Amino acid sequence: MRGGRIGIPKEFLIHMKRSLAIALTLASGMVLSAAAQTPAAPAGPTKIAVIAFQAAVAQTNEFQRNFADLQKKWDPKRQQLKALSDEVDSLTKALQSTTISDVERASKTSQLDTKKKQLDRDAEDAQNDFQQAMQDVFNGVASKVYDVMSSYAQKDGYTLVLDASQQQTPVLYAIDSVNITKPVIDAYNLKSGVPAPAGGEGATGAPKQTAPRMAPSTAPKPASTTAH
């Protein structure tokens, strides 16, 4: 996610980015595990497709919109952390002065220690809360994307769909024609009726992962589950 415009503390940005990645990984795994079903054995030959499920969810117009709403909701917290970070910076610079008295230095040192502890505690709490909020946003869209993916796979005669966005994926090679990530995104956007965010990719700051082009030399991304 992008936070440069708000100028929030670097440590908090790192936490938030890690939270986003963790939330997407964990949430997609839970959704796929809960939704996966075992269909009846096909009469004909097996037809396999692959999908980058996390990317599919993250690139839907609905997720982009909901992610933008979540960012707006968290703006006050980011601004609060920035103000606290500015106080820490100000006290740190003041202590670098050679003109302040010993009494004033002791007072500012105590204040700095208190502010640093508060900043660390507040940033950690915000990171945990944001991770949970991201999981909720992701899950709210992911279960519906799974339904669209299932319908798409059945309609096109696929008997097995592998998630290529997880770490332990069995997908080592796949041609582009069996990668259904983009078609599923398009089908979901059409069904949801949610328009693309204004301004395109930069409008929401939500992760814009592209559907991977899998080739012999390309190891697929993250995947602990498969959807059937």
Contact (CB, 8 A) for 179 and 51 = yes
Determine if the pTM surpasses 0.85. Answer: no
Q: Provide mean pLDDT across the span 179-190.
A: 96
Written as six digits, the tokens of 213 are: 């082009």
Greater model confidence, 98 or 188: 188
Alpha-carbon gap, residue 155 to 149, rounded angstroms: 10
Write the pLDDT tens digit of every residue in 109-168: 999 999 999 999 999 999 999 999 999 999 999 999 999 999 999 999 999 999 988 777
Write the pLDDT tens digit of every residue in 208-218: 443 333 333 23
Alpha-carbon gap, residue 3 to 197, rounded angstroms: 18
- Count of CB atoms within 10 A of residue 87's CB? 16
Contact (CB, 8 A) for 125 and 11 = no
Alpha-carbon gap, residue 198 to 141, rounded angstroms: 20
Q: Quick one: pLDDT at residue 32?
A: 53
Contact (CB, 8 A) for 65 and 199 = no
Angle of the 10-35 helix axis to the 61-95 helix axis, nearest 10: 150
Strands (E), the chain: 48-51, 160-163, 165-166, 221-222
CA 60 to chain centre: 13
Task: Write the CA distances from 99 to 41, 88, 89, 93, 133, integer angstroms.
Answer: 82, 19, 18, 12, 47
